[in-house]
Structure 1
Amino acid sequence: MSSTAVILTLIAVLVVIAFWIFSVYNSLVALRQRVEQSFADIDVQLKQRRDLVPNLVETVKGYASHERGTLEEVVKARNAAMSAQGPAQTAAAEGQLTATLRSLFALSEAYPDLKANTNFQQLQNDLADIENKLAAARRFFNNAVQEYNTGIARIPALWFAASFGFTRKDFYDLGEQRVQLEEAPSVKF
């Protein structure tokens, strides 16, 4: 074999390897984008939920003004949820907001006029709808994270994923509040 043929063969092999690396890199980029997009979907649902809280607090305040402590806890939890960053911190803050909202809804049992208020009922329905959408968005996010983590752990990506900045992502873990949040909020009239 001539030296020219060896050089051309070597160049062809290097080109094939380069295209293969580009292909693996691009698939990892697509997986990472899917994770980021799916977390953004969760964030949209959480923002909608947080936007309901002031209306809910104002509605309850009109009927149960002496329940100031509960109302302040809801507002405090909402503010903490709004400043949370990343899946782990967001999950913890949103879990606390969910707990305070449950205590707020428990007040409606003590105030029949509040329970019968159409605005309050609509806010409860909206919140239940958002909770269902959030559950679906969390499942989609965790699926995207699982695919991404599997993608960077598979050979051949495993060999160079870390050097390209692809690191393991965390799941959206609800922690101790998983049992409470997996139940759809009950809307009683």
Structure 2
Amino acid sequence: MGAIFWIVLALVLVYAITLYNSLVKVKNAVSKAWANIDVLLKQRHEELPKLVDTCKHYMQYEQSTLEKVTLARARVSEARQSHDISALGLAEGALRSGLGQLFALAESYPELKANEQFLHLQSRISGLENAIADRREFYNESVNINNVAIEQFPGVLLARLFNFKAFDLLKFAAAELGDVNIAQRFKA
């Protein structure tokens, strides 16, 4: 009878260790997913001033659009540095809107559209936008896996015991979820 008790205890202990390691793994996957987004946001953060400076030479009458992009860039940076996921989602929506308007307005400036630096920056930023969108999807999936793992039984017992926390999903601004009004983007 004593041997069975020790065997059962050993199996429970092995299971608890395996479950704990699994919780650590999913928590670290969220951190890794966030780090991937952070790298891309930093790269875009460095490219945007170059784009705005290039556009300033050609778009003298579009200062409000350039300022909108600059302010949105600052908000994204603040939210990223403070790890405020909800503020980041809103700031990202404003930045994407401003960039969309900037690229649409660039169509009215043939010299700007022909500028190699502008074309390179536009392509680079568009590529970064696509990569950020992919990484946001991966981040949200990692958050979902973590949050489910710490709420399911028996993981919830270990999660509470070792203070594992849920993470917030990176939500998108309502404007990003709706249909894009292309005609509106071409209005000055």
So what's the TM-score if we normalise by structure 2? 0.84
Aligned equivalent of 1:18, options 3, 7, 13: 13
Q: What is the aligned partner in structure 2 of residue 154 from structure 1?
A: 152
Hey, which bits of structure 1, 4+ residues long, moved more than 6 A? none
**Whole-angstrom distance in 1 between the partners of 2:164 and 2:86:** 19
Question: 5+ unaligned residues in a row in structure 1: which ranges?
Answer: 183-189
- Higher Cα Rg, which structure: 1
> How much does 1:181 deviate?
9.9
Q: Partner amino acid for 1:93?
A: A
Aligned counterparts, 1:78-97, within 5 A: 78-84=73-79, 85-97=83-95
Q: Partner amino acid for 1:142?
A: N
Identity %: 36
> How much does 1:42 deviate?
1.0
**Whole-angstrom distance in 2 between the partners of 1:9 and 1:175:** 57
> How much does 1:9 deviate?
4.7
Q: What is the aligned partner in structure 1 of residue 116 from structure 2?
A: 118
Change (3 A) 1:181 1:79: farther
RMSD between superposed Cα atoms in Å: 2.1
> How much does 1:168 deviate?
2.1
Change (3 A) 1:180 1:106: farther
So what's the TM-score if we normalise by structure 1? 0.84
**Whole-angstrom distance in 1 between the partners of 2:177 and 2:47:** 23
Question: 5+ unaligned residues in a row in structure 2: which ranges?
Answer: 181-188
Aligned counterparts, 1:127-146, within 5 A: 127-146=125-144
